Structure 1
Amino acid sequence: MKFFVKKFRLRFLLNVGINQQLDLQTSVRVQLANLIAILGILSNLQYSVLFTIAGAPNHVIMNVIHLFVICSLVFILYLNFKEKYSLARILLTITISIPLVFVSMVSFGNSGGFYYYFLVFALSPFVLFSYEDKYWILLVFLVNNLFYVWFEFFGKPGAFIEGTLLYNPQIQELFRVNSVVSCLFFIALIMFYFLRNTSRIQNEMVRTNQHKDRIFSILAHDLKGPIGTMNSYLGFLTETLPNREEMLIALKELKKSTNQSYLVLENLLDWVRNESKKIPAHLETLNLKSLVQNAKDILELQASDKGIDWEIMVSDQLTVYCDERMISTVIRNVISNAIKFSHPKGKVLITCSMGPKYVALNIIDNGIGMTHEQMNQIGEGKPFPTTFGTQGEKGTGLGLLVCTEMLKSQGCTMDVTSSPNQGTKITIQIPISA
C-alpha cells in the first residue's frame, strides 16, 4: 500500500520523465506538461460528475468524451515517462481542447462559459515549447482564439430540459462563474509554477557562471606554477649539459610539478563531472591496503621533500566494497592534505578499525589543523578558498569538496576531527565487502 501511495503522489507525477540527462529548461517544460495533464484529468473527472448531477444535455456523450480525454492525458504522462517529450507536448495541446469543443457544441452551447478555457489553452504552448517551435506555438494560439471567437459571437445557448438543475438560470450563471474562476486559477497556477522554475533557471545560470569562473581561476593560477616550473627545468635540461646530481634534482622537481598538475586536473575534472551528475559509481570488492599503498607511492616525493614520516597500519587481507577510481581519489586527496598541512619532519599515521558494516580508515596528522568554521564548510559541502600549506603549497579548494560528494555517491561517509595547531584526524567509513 505504501508503495502504491508513493508512486501516485503528486510530486512523483509532476516529475514523470525527469532524469539527470535533461537540461533544466527541458525539465521545466516536462514538469509543466505533467502539471497540465494532471489538472486536465482532475477537471474532466469533476465536470463529468457535475454534468451528470446537473442533468446537462447529452451528458452521456460528454462522459464518454471525458473518459477518452482522461485516457489520453494518462497516455501523455506515459509518453513523458518513456522520454518522448515532443510527442507528449503536441498531443497535450490538442487533447486539452477536445472536451471544450464538444461541450460547447453538443451540451452547454455558450451558456456555461466553458469556451473561456480556449483563452487559457491559447497561452499554454508558450510555456510548453521552445522558441524553435514557434510555428506550432502560433498555430495552437490562433486555433484556440478562433474557437473562442466563434463560440463567443456565433454560439447559441444550450437547450436545457425543464426540471433539471441546469434549467435554473442561476445554476447556469454559477457554471459560468466557475469557468471564469477556474480559468484564472489555472493561469495563476501554471504561471506561478513557471516563475518558480524560471527562478531555478536563473539560479542555475548564476551557479554555472560561478563554476566557470572558478575553473578559469584554477587553470590560470593553480596550473600556471607547476607548468612554469616544468618549462624552466625542461629548458635547463635541453640547453645545458647538467651533471648527474643536477639532473636528479631537475627530474625530482619535474616529477613533483607533474604530480601537482595531475592532482589539480583530476580534482577539477571530478568536480565538473560531479556537478553535471555524470559520474556514476561502479562498486566492486577492493583491497584497502593496495589503495592506500598506491596513494602513498604517488605522494612519496611530496612527503620526502618535507621529511614526513609515514606509518601505515592497515591489514593486507582487508577488503572494501566501493568505486576504485573514486575512493582512490578520496584517499589521495586526504593524504595529500595531511602532508600539505603537516610541519616539516612531521608524521602521518594511517590506521583502520572494523565496524559492523564498514571499515573506518583513519588518516591522522599533527599539522596546523582546521578551524570550526572550516569543518562546517566541509559538512555543508561548500568550496574552500584557496589555502596554502606549511611550505607555501597551493591548493584549489576543491579536494575535500570533491571527496565529500564522491563518498556520498558510493555509500561512504567522512568525519573530521580537528583543532588549530593540534592536527587533523579524518575518518572515512567504507562499506565492508559482501
Structure 2
Amino acid sequence: MKIGLEQLRLRTVLNLGVRRQMDLQTSVRVQLVNLIALLGIVSNLQYSVLFTVVSAPNFWIMNGIHFAVIITFVYILYLNYIEKYSLARILTVVTITIPVFFASMISFGNSCGFYYYFLVFALSPFVIFSYDEKFWILFVFLYNNLLYVWFEFFGSPGTFEEGTLIHKESIQELFRVNSVVSCLFFVALIMFYFLRNINRIQKEMIRTNAHKDRIFSILAHDLKGPIGTMNSFLGFLMETTPDRDELIIALKELKKSTNQSYLVLENLLDWVKSESKKIPINLDTVNLSKMVHNAKDILNLQASDKGIQWELQVPSNVFVHCDERMISTVIRNLFSNAIKFSFPNTKINVEVVQDPSFVELIISDSGIGMSVEQIQQIYEGKPFPTTFGTQGEKGTGLGLLVCSEMLKNQGCIMALTSSPNIGTKIRIQIPASL
C-alpha cells in the first residue's frame, strides 16, 4: 500500500499541468519538463551533500546555488501546474546549466568531469521543445556545446586543499565516474521516457485510424438505411395521393427513420467527443422522472410497433445531481436498446431505488440478451461488432460505450447483468441531489 501511494505521488508530480484537452505530444513535453525538474531537485540535493562531505572549494557558496536552483525547479513545476508551459520550458533549459557552470568555475575546474553534463543538456531541448521552437533548440544546443568545449580545452583543474577528501585522486576519479554514469543515466531515462511516449503516440494514431474507419462505416451503413427509407416514403407521398391509413403508416415509418437517424448521429458525435476528451460536463440538480418520461415519449412509437409495454415505477419527485443532457442521452440509448433487443409483446420495466447518497435507475427487458464477452468489451471500453435486434433492427455498437463513458465522467456507475434469450438488466447509480 505504501509503495502504491509513493508511485501515485510520483505520477501526480509528473503529470502536473497535463490537461485532458491536450494532444499527446504536448502532454509528453510537459511530463518531460516535470521529469527534468524532479531529476534536478534530486541531483542538486545529492551534490550539495557530497560537496560538503568532501570539503570541495567554496562548498558553502555552491550550497547556496544548489538551494536557489532547487527552489527554481519547484517553481518550474508550479509554472506547469498553472499552465505557463513556455516559460517553464525556457526556465528549465537555463536553470539546469547553472549549478554545473558554477561547480566547474569556482570549485572543480575541469577536474571531476562535471562539465560532461553540458553534453546532456545540449540534447534536452530536442525533447521538450516543439519543432516550431527551433530558435530555442538551436540556442540551447549551441551554448551548452560551447560551454563543454571551453572547460574541456581551455579550462584548468581545480585547486584542492591538502587534507580534504577532494584532494585525493581516488575521490576525484569517483566524481568523474559518477559524472559519466549520471550523464548516461539521465540520457537513458529521458530517452526511454521519450520512446515510451512515442510508442503511445503510434498506438494513438492506430486507434485514431480505427475510429475514423468506424465512423465512415457508420455513416455508410447505419445512416444510409434510415435516410433511404425516408427518401422512399417521401417519394411515395409526393407521387401518389394516399388515403388516411396509408398516410399514417408512411408518417410512422418516417418518424421511426428520423428517430433512428438522430440517435445514430447523436451517438456518433458523442462518441467522437468522448474519445477526443472534449465533452463539457455541467452538473446540476435535475428531475430524473422528467428525463425518463421524455425518453419514453420519444421512443414510444418504436415500442408500440413491437407491442412492447412500459412498466414505469419512477416517483415524480426524484432529483439527481448530474449533467442533464448526458443522462438524457444515456436513458434514451438504454431505452432504444431495450426496445430493439426485446422480443415482441413483452415488457420493459423501469424502476428507481433511492439511497441517501445515490439514486439507482434499473432498466430490465425480456430479449436476446448479451454474451459475457460483449459485457466485458463494454466494461473495457471496446467497440463490438454491430448486432441486430429481434426484428432485424441494426445498431452501431456504440450506444452502450457512449453511455459508459458519459456515466464514468460524472461519477456514475453502470452495472450489467444479462442472459442470452432471457433479457438484460442495467443498473445505473447517479449521485443524489443533496
Q: TM-score, normalised by structure 2?
A: 0.94
Q: Return the alpha-carbon distance in structure 1 between the equivalents of residues 10 and 426 of structure 2.
A: 41
Partner of 2:300: 300
Unaligned runs of 5+ residues in structure 2 are none
Shift of 1:6: 7.8
SS of aligned partner of 1:48: helix
CA distance in 1, matches of 2:320, 2:189: 50
Please give the alpha-carbon distance, in whole angstroms, between the structure 1 residues aligned to 2:208 and 2:117: 39
Alpha-carbon distance, 1:26 to partner:
0.7
2:286 aligned partner, one-letter code: L
Q: What secondary structure does 1:416 align onto?
A: strand
User: Do the aligned partners of 1:375 and 1:416 also contact (CA within 8 Å) in 2?
Assistant: yes
**Bigger shift: 312-321 or 10-19?**
312-321
Q: What is residue 82 of structure 1 aligned with on the other side?
A: 82
- The residue number in structure 2 matching 1:278 is 278
Look up the SS of the partner of 1:359 in the other structure.
strand
Following TM superposition, by how much is the alpha carbon of 1:80 offset from its aligned partner in structure 2, in angstroms?
Answer: 1.1
* 2:316 equivalent to 1:321: no
Residues 180-219 of structure 1: matches in 2 within 5 Å? 180-219=180-219
- In the other structure, the counterpart of 1:234 is 234
Q: Secondary structure at the match of 1:351?
A: strand
Task: Report the Cα offset of residue 367 of structure 1.
Answer: 1.5
Matches within 5 A, 1:37-186: 37-186=37-186
Contact 1:6 1:12 in 2 (8 A): no
Greater than 6 Å deviation, 4+ residue runs: 5-8
Aligned to 2:357: 357
**1:67 is aligned with what amino acid?**
F
Which residue type is aligned with residue 413 of structure 1? I
**Cα drift, residue 66 of structure 1:** 1.8
Measured after TM superposition, the shift of residue 299 of structure 1 is: 0.4
- In structure 2, the CA distance between the partners of 1:10 and 1:370, relative to structure 1 (3 Å rule), is closer
Hey, what's the Cα distance between the residues in 2 that align with 1:315 and 1:429? Answer: 16
- TM-score, length-scaled by structure 1: 0.94
Instruction: For 1:336-347, list aligned pairs within 5 A.
Output: 336-347=336-347
| Distance (whole Å) between structure 2 residues aligned to residue 8 and residue 302 of structure 1 | 49
Indicate whether 1:254 and 2:254 are aligned. yes
The reply on whether 1:225 has 2:225 as its aligned counterpart is yes
RMSD (Å), alpha carbons: 1.9
Letter in 1 for 2:67: L
- In the TM superposition, residue 54 of structure 1 has moved relative to its aligned partner by 1.2
Instruction: Provide the rounded CA distance (Å) in 2 between the counterparts of 1:68 and 1:8.
Output: 27
Task: Specify whether residues 79 and 319 from structure 1 end up closer, same or farther in structure 2 by C-alpha distance, changes over 3 A only.
Answer: closer
Size of the aligned set, in residue pairs, is 431
Report how far residue 282 of structure 1 moved: 2.4
Give the aligned partner of residue 374 of structure 1: 374
| Percent of aligned pairs sharing the same letter | 73
Q: Measure, in 2, the Cα distance between the counterparts of 1:288 and 1:195.
A: 48
The 1:382/1:61 distance shift into structure 2, 3 A limit, reads same
| Per-residue deviation, residues 368-387 of structure 1 (Å, max 9, x unmatched) | 22222222223333222101
The amino acid across from 2:331 in the alignment is I
Q: CA deviation at 1:85?
A: 0.8
**C-alpha distance in structure 2 between counterparts of 1:340 and 1:201, whole Å:** 38
- C-alpha contact 1:358 1:432 (8 A) present in aligned 2: yes
Query: Offset at 1:356?
Result: 4.4
